[in-house]
Structure 1
Amino acid sequence: MHGTMGMEGLAYVASLARALIYCHGKHVIHRDIKPENLLIGAQGELKIADFGWSVHTFNRRRTMCGTLDYLPPEMVESVEHDASVDIWSLGILCYEFLYGVPPFEAMEHSDTYRRIVQVDLKFPPKPIVSASAKDLISQMLVKESAQRLPLHKLLEHPWIVQNADPSGIYRG
């Protein structure tokens, strides 16, 4: 699942949200959700790979880990974080599926850090993306982690309901 996947990638968002709800229910935070760690099975099913950065959530974490473009502000700033880091990463993934690049990507690492911390979120005019999609992403990419859209609410968001196959399998 490298690079941009366009609209077909979005069929996986609901499936990924359900997988993360399961993980979080088992007190596991993945902490490194990105395209390279998502696998597509023979039947088109989504699988999360590479739990190398995952942790049990019994202790709040302060570790700097994961891939810079996908890190939430609290991990960039090395403050305590919880399962909502995976919501942020899923929001980044949604953006990248639509636009082909992560939202806070910059030439210099220091600029990427700054853009993440400031949540310098911009939606380019091309490709044309629905207001509903932008609304969903904007609710996930919120600096205050407690204010991020919970995963169960993501599954109820109009844009997900309208675009995701209920099985989470892309049928092209």
Structure 2
Amino acid sequence: MYGYFYDNKNIYLILEYSPGGELYKKLTAKGRFSERTSARFISDLSQAMKYCHNKHVIHRDIKPENLLLGAKNDVKIADFGWSVHAPTSRRNTLCGTLDYLPPEMVEGREHDEQVDTWALGVLLYEFLVGVPPFETESHSATYRRIQRVDIRWPTGMPEDARDLIGKLLKKDPTKRLPLESIPRHPFVLRNLRDS
């Protein structure tokens, strides 16, 4: 973010130009991403989210539609419409997009920045498989799958990818893998070794 200004009704953010457009469009066109691309995106996003969290900003709506691609295919977080500056950390508002909601939001419990960590787990699964892990035909069934953390692993999912996703998609937010550990996870290291 380069800066901001505001008037009586709006806050305007000055962001870097992202000629690659929405990551969602690229994911839809390809169907899914390679392990290498997925590892790079999730590593970069974890560092960007860590920066936001260090500034006490919780995004609360991380999804492919809210990620932009720069000139060098670098991923950028956008649409901070549901974000909150929360120095006290705990929130109660149900917000975001159903497929990315963590159990604590679905169950109406307080939540903190760990909602973004959960969303990274959902994203990594979607990057590799092409659909979010809890997606169903109905909202109520999706809510139930999220509450149970009912992940259906496709055949051929690399074990280290399953491990990373599983460590991000923990029902207990305090047990989720810290963001700073994502770039050092074996799945990321294996895929970015020669980058």
Normalising by structure 1, what TM-score? 0.91
- Cα gap change, 1:165 to 1:29, in 2 (>3 Å): farther
Separation in 2 of the partners of 1:61 and 1:84? 11
The answer to whether residue 163 in structure 2 is matched with residue 155 in structure 1 is: no
Match of 1:85 in 2: 115
The within-5 A match list for 1:13-162 is 13-59=42-88, 60-125=90-155, 128-162=156-190
- CA offset at residue 165 of structure 1? 6.9
SS in 1 for 2:48: helix
Aligned length: 165
Separation in 2 of the partners of 1:100 and 1:21? 25
Separation in 2 of the partners of 1:5 and 1:145? 27
Larger strand proportion, structure 1 or 2?
2
SS in 2 for 1:53: coil
Cα shift readout 1:97-118 (whole Å, capped 9, x = no counterpart): 1111000001010000000011
- CA offset at residue 16 of structure 1? 0.4
- Cα gap change, 1:164 to 1:66, in 2 (>3 Å): farther
- CA offset at residue 161 of structure 1? 1.2
CA contact (8 A) 1:32 1:54 kept: yes
Looking at both structures, which has the greater relative contact order when contacts are Cα pairs under 8 Å and sequence separation is at least 6?
A: 1
Normalising by structure 2, what TM-score? 0.81
Structure 1: give runs of 5+ residues left out of the alignment. none
- CA offset at residue 88 of structure 1? 0.3
Match of 1:164 in 2: 192
- CA offset at residue 149 of structure 1? 0.4
